[in-house]
């Protein structure tokens, strides 16, 4: 049963912006940290951004800091990733994930996460 569903991926040019969305159909969204990961062709999946249960604490990978912004709407059970100033190196499949706890540390460096989406492809052309 897929509980997380991403949307918003597509083909854009370098410098463009894109917003990814993730809908959580599970019952624990509002008390769990959420995160975004990505996997580029031929590379391992890597952490991108995390947000705590209430949205007041966020954490980013150095590679996206200042360009990407994660946010959430607990009433809608949605988490978003606003991506600005996109680069060809941002090309990847982007995955939404739900942590097993409420803090960003339950996303960053976690060995096991509660749920994963199936991913949405972002392609940035130069």
How, if at all, do strands 10-13 and 120-125 pair?
Answer: parallel
Question: Would you say residue 87 has pLDDT above 80?
Answer: yes
Percent of the chain at pLDDT > 70 equals 100
User: Residue 36: what pLDDT?
Assistant: 98
Q: How far apart are the first and last CA of the chain?
A: 37
User: Residue 107: what pLDDT?
Assistant: 94
- Give me the helices (H) in 3-92, please: none
Query: How confident is residue 112, by pLDDT bands cut at 50, 70 and 90?
Result: confident
């Amino acid at each position: 049963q897929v509980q997380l569903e991403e949307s918003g991926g597509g083909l854009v040019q370098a410098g463009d912006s894109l917003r990814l969305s993730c809908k959580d159909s599970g019952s624990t969204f509002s008390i769990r940290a959420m995160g975004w990961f990505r996997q580029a062709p031929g590379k391992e999946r890597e952490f991108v951004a995390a947000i705590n249960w209430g949205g007041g604490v966020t954490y980013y990978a150095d590679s996206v800091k200042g360009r990407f912004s994660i946010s959430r709407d607990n009433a809608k059970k949605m988490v978003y990733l606003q991506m600005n100033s996109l680069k060809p190196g941002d090309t990847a499949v982007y995955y939404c994930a739900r942590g097993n706890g409420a803090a960003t540390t339950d996303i960053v460096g976690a060995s096991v996460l509660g749920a994963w989406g199936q991913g949405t492809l972002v392609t940035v052309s130069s």
